[in-house]
């Protein structure tokens, strides 16, 4: 009897350990999903629908490549928060000369404002689709709604909102895909086979450039450091480094699936009918006769959720940046964090009123992001490669040079995207 009793005890212990390990994983899911929202913001919608409607499934590989790049960069910046207990803003303020820190973080605030502008516009466009409300009125409603939600919520509640919103956006596209005939064989091949159709280079740059956003690098390190894992022993830190990679990979995979769904929907609905989509209102209006009123409504609702949730993450990033200037972590009850939120969302809304043209607003936002992005990426790599900052967890030489290579490539692509707004760039040789 004692043998079977011991066996049952061992099996029970093993089963409990496996359950504990599985539960551990779910405890660390969340930070990556906040970053995923920036990966599916209204700017991505516009680029993806244009890519799918003009080139069919051919540019799906760009989503795959951009996701891989994003996983590497976000995984790296998350290490900063786990190991040091500092977000990117706090680390810059602590380890850079004061003038360099203020210049870098000031430019990051400008990027956050530009991001908020795009997210507010996306939400306003969705409100206009659903209720025929003027863009400026819709932008005001979206901004007020987001500010109230943020001021009444802490990290954990915002994470729950984001998880719910991302889930609904994903389900919306699953519903849309069920209404159309998809050439899955072509899609599967396009995901892993690079091709550059004639005249597609600008859209390739746009899709890639819309993925890596400066505020997301600040946001991820901030959300990670809020867990304060650095205050625990080395085994806990090692464990978090492992689970963080799973969280980031899973979250980016969800973003990859949703972005892919946008291109597939546009390819199967518009490209097959020789219709090119130039803006989101046009995409929604064309979906109704093709797929029915319900599909058009679901499209607008998903866009509204994307605009609201991405505006929230942009606000958190801005709050984190301003708080970091004062050597403080993000705290919604703190005046500096609130100032950052109001500055980003308020300035974004003000620009909507000043420019009047939503499309022009998106162009301005993308141009500002393109200018600032290299600053944030090189700041991140410098900090995470420094033994003074990271100790023994500093990037190894191979990792450091891989990150610098990615930084240079992303920078070049975003500069090309910026130039495309002012001059006609064509790559007809492909």
User: Which is higher by pLDDT, 45 or 120?
Assistant: 120
H helix count then E strand count, the chain? 18, 0
- List, for residues 256-272, the tens digit of each pLDDT value: 999 999 999 999 999 99
Count of CB atoms situated within 10 Å of the CB of 427: 14
- List, for residues 157-182, the tens digit of each pLDDT value: 887 888 888 889 999 999 999 999 99
Question: Is pLDDT of 315 > 90?
Answer: yes
Token reading at 31 = 């930070």
* Residue 194: per-residue pLDDT: 93
Find out whether 222 and 323 touch, Cβ atoms under 8 Å: no
DSSP 217-265: HHHHHHHHHTT-GGGS-HHHHHHHHHHHHHHHHHHHHHHHHHHHHHHHH
Question: Is pLDDT of 4 > 60?
Answer: no
Question: Is pLDDT of 427 > 70?
Answer: no
∠ Cα 46 265 122 (to 5°): 30
Question: Is pLDDT of 413 > 90?
Answer: no
DSSP 8-class letter at 107 = H
Q: Give the chain's domains with CATH numbers.
A: 51-420 (1.20.1740.10)
User: Which is higher by pLDDT, 74 or 25?
Assistant: 74
Residue 249, Cβ density class (10 Å: 0-12 exposed, 13-18 middle, ≥19 buried):
middle
- Single out the residue of 257, 300, 264, 263 nearest to residue 181, CA to CA: 264
* C-alpha 178, offset from chain centre: 26
* Residue 426: per-residue pLDDT: 47
- List, for residues 337-384, the tens digit of each pLDDT value: 999 999 999 999 999 998 877 766 776 777 788 778 889 999 999 999
Q: Count of residues for the chain?
A: 430
H-helix or E-strand containing 305? helix 293-325
Find out whether 151 and 132 touch, Cβ atoms under 8 Å: no
User: Which is higher by pLDDT, 276 or 184?
Assistant: 184
Token reading at 334 = 């703190």
Q: Which residues contact 430 (CB under 8 A, 6 or more apart)?
A: 196, 197, 198, 200, 201
Find out whether 110 and 288 touch, Cβ atoms under 8 Å: no
User: Which is higher by pLDDT, 84 or 26?
Assistant: 84
Residue 290, Cβ density class (10 Å: 0-12 exposed, 13-18 middle, ≥19 buried):
middle
Lowest-pLDDT choice from 144-148, 169-173, 212-216: 212-216
Find out whether 191 and 51 touch, Cβ atoms under 8 Å: no
């Amino acid at each position: 009897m004692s043998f079977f009793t011991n066996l049952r005890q061992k099996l029970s212990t093993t089963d409990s350990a496996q359950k504990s390990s599985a539960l551990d994983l779910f405890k660390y899911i969340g930070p990556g999903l906040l970053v995923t929202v920036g990966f599916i913001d209204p700017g991505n919608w516009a680029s993806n629908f244009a890519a799918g409607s003009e080139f069919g499934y051919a540019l799906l590989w760009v989503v795959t490549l951009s996701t891989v790049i994003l996983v590497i960069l976000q995984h790296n910046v998350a290490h900063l928060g786990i190991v040091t207990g500092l977000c990117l803003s706090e680390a810059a303020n602590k380890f850079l000369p004061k003038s360099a820190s203020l210049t870098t973080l000031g430019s990051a605030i400008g990027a956050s404002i530009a991001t908020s502008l795009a997210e507010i516009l996306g939400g306003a466009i969705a409100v206009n689709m659903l209720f025929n409300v003027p863009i400026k009125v819709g932008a005001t409603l979206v901004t007020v709604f987001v500010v109230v939600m943020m001021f009444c919520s802490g990290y954990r509640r915002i994470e729950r909102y984001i998880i719910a919103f991302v889930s609904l956006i994903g389900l919306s596209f699953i519903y849309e895909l069920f209404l159309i005939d998809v050439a899955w064989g072509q899609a599967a091949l396009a995901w892993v086979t690079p091709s550059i159709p004639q005249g597609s280079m600008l859209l390739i740059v746009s899709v890639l450039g819309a993925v890596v956003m400066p505020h997301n690098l600040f946001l991820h390190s901030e959300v990670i450091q809020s867990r304060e894992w650095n205050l625990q022993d080395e085994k806990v830190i090692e464990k978090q480094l492992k689970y963080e990679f799973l969280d980031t990979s899973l979250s980016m995979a969800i973003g990859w699936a949703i972005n892919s769904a946008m291109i597939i929907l546009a390819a199967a609905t518009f490209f097959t009918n020789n219709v090119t989509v130039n803006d989101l209102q046009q995409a929604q209006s064309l979906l109704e006769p093709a797929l029915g009123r319900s599909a058009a409504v679901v499209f607008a609702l998903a866009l509204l959720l994307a605009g609201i949730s991405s505006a929230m993450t942009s606000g958190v990033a801005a709050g984190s940046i301003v708080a970091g200037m004062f050597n403080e972590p993000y705290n919604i009850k703190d005046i500096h964090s609130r100032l950052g939120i109001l500055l980003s969302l308020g300035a974004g809304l003000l620009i909507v009123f000043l420019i009047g043209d939503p499309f022009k607003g998106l162009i301005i936002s993308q141009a500002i992001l393109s200018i600032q992005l290299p600053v944030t990426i090189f700041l991140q790599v410098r900090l995470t490669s420094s033994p003074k900052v990271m100790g023994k967890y500093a990037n190894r030489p191979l990792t450091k040079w891989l990150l610098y290579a990615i930084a240079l490539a992303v920078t070049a692509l975003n500069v090309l995207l910026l130039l495309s707004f002012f001059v006609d760039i064509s790559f007809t040789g492909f």
